[in-house]
Amino acid sequence: MDAPQIALRDTAAEFARVRGALQSAVALPVVVASPVRRARVDALIKRAATIQKTIEGAGRMIDGARRWFSDTFGVQVEDSVPAANPAIAASIKTSVAAMNYFLRDAKIELDAIIERQRQYESIPEEKRAGALAELRAAEMPAPGATIAPKWLWLGIGAAALFVFLKGGDDESET
């Protein structure tokens, strides 16, 4: 096994471990109590599933191409097609990069969850319900603080461009 394949195997193992930790974190009281935190964890879990599905699909395509080439021509694709090795290496590097970006983001979220959970567990049992209510209130977005939809920003940009261009025409006429 060469270095890129070892890196892929090692990164995939870490990816699986962190993905499992995220799936376990869903049941923690600090995640259950916070819709914002729960949404972040759910988004990371969905992202992990997409990454895994994509990597597995690429692997199946590479294996299928290897089998087809071997069955059809009786030789290994890596030995006979000059572009095969760089394409396979690029696929491996892309897979590792995708998992590393996920791992970076997931570890940041998990660290925050673990710290919140540690704080929660240090609170006396009788005060925990109140702490979760405070957490829920603290992490909720403020009313009216929502981001405008993309179509609204596009409309504002188009109107600004129209006013700018229309204003430029008026000045050239005087």
Q: What is the DSSP string of 147-162?
A: PPPHHHHHHHHHHHHH
Name the burial class of residue 160, with classes exposed (0-12), middle (13-18) and buried (19+) by CB atoms within 10 angstroms of its CB: exposed
Closest CA to 51 of 108, 112, 105: 105
What does the pLDDT look like over 83-94, one tens digit per residue? 888 999 999 999
Name the least confident of 45-49, 86-90, 170-174.
170-174
Name the least confident of 31-35, 71-75, 96-100, 145-149.
145-149
Element (H, E) at 115: helix 84-122
- At 130 the pLDDT is 85
- At 163 the pLDDT is 56
Q: Which residues contact 66 (CB under 8 A, 6 or more apart)?
A: 76, 77, 78
Domain spans of the chain?
3-122
- At 145 the pLDDT is 43
Residue 174 has pLDDT above 50, yes or no: no
Residue 147 has pLDDT above 60, yes or no: no
- At 153 the pLDDT is 53
Where does the pLDDT of residue 149 fall: very low under 50, low under 70, confident under 90, or very high at 90 and above?
low
What average pLDDT is seen over the chain? 84
Q: Which residue has the tokens 């990164």?
A: 11
Q: How far apart are CA 25 and CA 133, in angstroms?
A: 19
Provide the CB-side half-sphere exposure for 90 (13 A, CA).
5
The tokens for 107 are: 């570890």
- At 140 the pLDDT is 63
